[in-house]
Chains A and B, each alone.
Chain A
Amino acid sequence: DAKTTQPPSMDCAEGRAANLPCNHSTISGNEYVYWYRQIHSQGPQYIIHGLKNNETNEMASLIITEDRKSSTLILPHATLRDTAVYYCIVRVGYDYKLSFGAGTTVTVRA
């Protein structure tokens, strides 16, 4: 799987959009970008995934650059409950294993 690079931490004001970057410069054509988050030692929670098109669901939006070497997860209106570690994972579609890196610790402040 391609390696990902995320900032170790970031702060966000409650009610504002949180933009979480992820670099995956060695991504190959059949690898998808997945985002999960983990709230305070609970089980990781799936957020969103995509291949090359931008994706949106009820939780977040995923913006993938045209060259696919980086992506941004957008939480449109961060709340205190969004405080968590966010993981960007790149993997091929047929591989069910998830390789978690260190992630980004996001702290939403009131």
Chain B
Amino acid sequence: AQSVAQPEDQVNVAEGNPLTVKCTYSVSGNPYLFWYVQYPNRGLQFLLKYITGDNLVKGSYGFEAEFNKSQTSFHLKKPSALVSDSALYFCAVRVFDAGNMLTFGGGTRLMVKP
């Protein structure tokens, strides 16, 4: 069975510092991996995805993620955090069955302090 783990409930970063939000996955076969962001009382917004190709994927708002097959990880990164990046972040893996559903991690709350 496919699964996604986000080991940190919350990540605290000072504005201007680099940030990393961790994600590890467990799937059979090649994974499709995703990151989403959720602002308060809003739906989830797509940030980036890894399907195939370059292990470093660049997405919206300056975020990027690195696919590491040997460590089964897909950590989200940004070189310089903004206060406006404070939100809830979800990692997800695509399940290849009849529904082609996404399985989500539990979410990590990112707090960027001025």
Q: Is the pairing of A and B real? A: no
- Residues of chain A at the chain B interface (Cβ within 8 Å): none
